[in-house]
Amino acid sequence: MYAIIETGGKQFRVEEGLKIDVEKLAAEPGGEIVLDKVLFLDKDGGPLVGEPYLEGAKVTCEVVEHGRGKKIIVFHKRRRQDSHKKQGHRQDYTTLLVKSIEANA
């Protein structure tokens, strides 16, 4: 069984036992978080599609850790102006371990 969930403005395909990196969430490592924005669910009875979300479906995850992604360089140059700006960015993320997928439909 797998599900497609939405968190942090992005969509993820999750299965039980899978680790995913999502936008940083306000939760402590070792804690549990329930994601209820389930867009699609594929189980034994066939696929279930939400409009936009499935009622009563949820994915339970354990918060493994918080981290920061690889540094990217943001470089802006204005041509013929002898002007530029160089800036670095590291995105915060949270690693989740999917424990269970539930559907009441």
pLDDT digits (tens, 9 = 90+) for 67-98: 999 999 999 999 999 999 999 999 999 999 99
Compare 88 and 45 and report the one with higher pLDDT.
88
In single-letter form, the type of residue at position 34 comes to: V
Beta carbons of 41 and 59 less than 8 angstroms apart: no
Domain count, the chain: 1
pTM: 0.85
Instruction: Give the per-residue pLDDT at 105.
Output: 56
Specify the pairing of strand 19-23 against strand 2-7.
unpaired
C-alpha distance from residue 53 to each of 33, 39, 57, 87 (Å): 18, 5, 8, 38
Range of the domain at 10: 2-102
